[in-house]
A and B are shown apart, each in its own frame.
Chain A
Amino acid sequence: MEAHAFRGDETLVIRPGALLAVAKFLKETPELDFNVLMDLTAVDYLFFAGGRVQKEFRFEVVYHFYSLKHNHRLRLKVPVDEKDPEVDTLNDLWPSANWYEREVWDMFGIQFKGHPNLKRILMYEEFQGHALRKDYPFNKRQPLIGPQN
């Protein structure tokens, strides 16, 4: 969809449908050879800049790739809609995606299609909601859970 660089960070924004194809290309093209998925996270753009900036999609899943051979980095961003937030998993290409995707699911409620074990990682299973969403108040408390006795 778009490519830009801010402060030297090369960034690529792509459609969710193209993710698997682009990821495969990034990993397998010898001139790119992004063999490390360094980081995977998401950003919630609800009320971004006090609501002055209206983004087309609420979430962005952000991938940071690194190539050990060529020593270059790339940021890949995938916009995700608020209704039915879902992107493909990269677990098959980079096993490191497994835990990162679980964390994004835990914190943002974004589904990863084809993930083998998509369950919460930092919070407990009974936790209600997704803590890093902007409509989740930072001071909200939830009752402690545990065995009744």
Chain B
Amino acid sequence: MATQTRNMLLNVGPSHPAMHGVIRLVMELEGEKIKGVDVEIGYLHRAFEKMCETVMYAQCFPYTDRLNYVSPLINNVGFAMTVEKLLGIDVPERAKYIRVIMSEISRVTDHLTCIGATAMELGAMSVFLYMIKAREYLYELVEEITGARLTISYVRIGGVKADLTPGFTDQCFQKIADVRKVLIEADELLTRNRIFFDRMKGIGTICAEDAIAYGITGPFLRSTGVAYDVRKANPYLIYDRLDFEVPTGTTGDNLDRYFVRMAEMEQSLRMIEQCFQQIPDGAISGELTGCVIPAAQMVDRAKMGQTEDLIEDEVDLDPTLQGGTKRYHEAINADQKDVVLPAKENTYGNIEGLMNHFKLVMYGHGIRPPVGEVYFPVEGANGELGFYIVSDGRDLPWRVRVHPPCFPIMAALPKCLVGDMMADLVPTFGSVNMIAGELDR
């Protein structure tokens, strides 16, 4: 009698060490070969789009931090630029450079996390630790400027929250050098490593036609040989002034994705260096002429009408608001009183500033873009991150839609996995860099 065989169904996730974040794969296995994959998402759905409809434009930023939580600065930039496009305003040069610097730092942290985690799952624990160490250097830079590490809410509509700190340039160059060392180290540990190479090469392959048909963008698409990068195709901010290359692969397998990400990190570091050479006014914009006084004292003096002494003075702010005082404010924010909050000295020190502040933060007032709709793409760490905003002329957005780069990648995941072995799931899933926060929103 012939032996009967049937395929086995295996559940991986939603809570599984190899699933970064929460996602469930129902796999049909024939022996160890993957015959079919059903991807189930939505375990981290937090109603981002619905919640954005209930708050004012500026209040959406904390929500955008939580989309791709490994590179939140790029989400911030994307959202701010979409609203700016809707309003039809431009931001100062300096703010543009700061946005690019912060975006590129974020991109490097994202790629470091992705490669580090993939390597760890293939047994290279030391690479993971080195890369997380490098990411820590960059988080220190982020922390220095934004006051936070992950949920930074740093970008503002019409500018950024805080200027660069004194000495940031040197610090940044130092950290870039440190990160480069780690990249060389990781490259030596991985690129000629037989185990790593064998597990990555020819695994999780997708061809360029399929990748385009599925709407995939970013490093994933570039690994198949299509040199599409939003920063080159539709340059925003000051990317057209920077000299950088778009690395591409050839076969679209895991190894190519690894090479593309490694090369992209180097390009990002180059871009940061170029930004520091080009940024207007160097590292810091203003000089303090008065003295620093506590906020309460400033409010008291303003109430008593002693406003003349206050013009030169600077208010002592909470660390999370540092860098946004009057002497920096103009250089990093657009000159639009109906969009940008006034500097804190004006809010505390004179009635015009106070009224301006309240006009922007009260429900029923706020930022009011004209009726219309815009779509604006930026290059996220995983691909094209696009925001689509519909405004009905009120202070609350009518509809905020984010095009998450992970979403089409996950839709195409069965294409990558079918035909490979069960154990190949781990490197493939690592190299596609799924971020549940932006996938499920």
- The residues of A with any CB-CB pair to B shorter than 8 Å are 6-7, 9, 11, 35-39, 41, 43-44, 48-50, 53, 62, 64, 68, 71, 73, 75, 94-96, 98-100, 107, 120-124, 131-132, 138
Contact with A99, one of B45, B226, B374, B408 (Cβ below 8 angstroms) = B408
B195-221, CB < 8 A from A: 210, 212-215, 217
Known: A39-B386, A131-B47, A138-B51. A49 touches B394 (CB 8 A): yes
| Neighbouring A residues of B124 by C-beta, 8 Å | none
Contact with B374, one of A7, A39, A138 (Cβ below 8 angstroms) = A7
16 inter-chain pairs at a CB distance below 8 angstroms, sorted by A residue, are A6-B374, A7-B374, A9-B373, A36-B212, A36-B217, A38-B215, A38-B377, A39-B388, A71-B233, A75-B373, A95-B411, A98-B411, A99-B410, A121-B42, A122-B441, A138-B47
What 3 A-B pairs are tightest by C-beta distance, nearest first?
A96-B215, A122-B42, A49-B392
Q: A6-B372, A38-B215, A43-B390 are in contact. List 10 more A-B contacts (CB 8 A).
A: A35-B213, A37-B215, A38-B377, A38-B403, A41-B388, A43-B373, A49-B371, A53-B392, A71-B234, A131-B50
* B399 closest partner in A (C-beta): A43
- The residues of B with any CB-CB pair to A shorter than 8 Å are 41-42, 45, 47, 49-51, 53-54, 85-86, 88, 210, 212-215, 217, 226, 228, 233-234, 371-375, 377, 384, 386, 388, 390, 392-394, 398-399, 401, 403, 407-408, 410-412, 440-441
Q: How far is the CA of A138 from the CA of B53 in the complex (A)?
A: 9
* B393 closest partner in A (C-beta): A49
Docked-complex contact A95 and B213, CB < 8 angstroms? yes
Q: How far is the CA of A48 from the CA of B41 in the complex (A)?
A: 31
| Neighbouring B residues of A94 by C-beta, 8 Å | 213, 215
Docked-complex contact B411 and A39, CB < 8 angstroms? no
Known: A36-B212, A48-B398. A122 touches B45 (CB 8 A): yes
What is the CB-to-nearest-CB distance from B402 to chain A, in angstroms, rounded to a whole number? 9
Q: How far is the CA of A26 from the CA of B384 in the complex (A)?
A: 21
Contact with A9, one of B375, B392, B399 (Cβ below 8 angstroms) = B375
Docked-complex contact A7 and B86, CB < 8 angstroms? yes
Docked-complex contact B85 and A64, CB < 8 angstroms? no
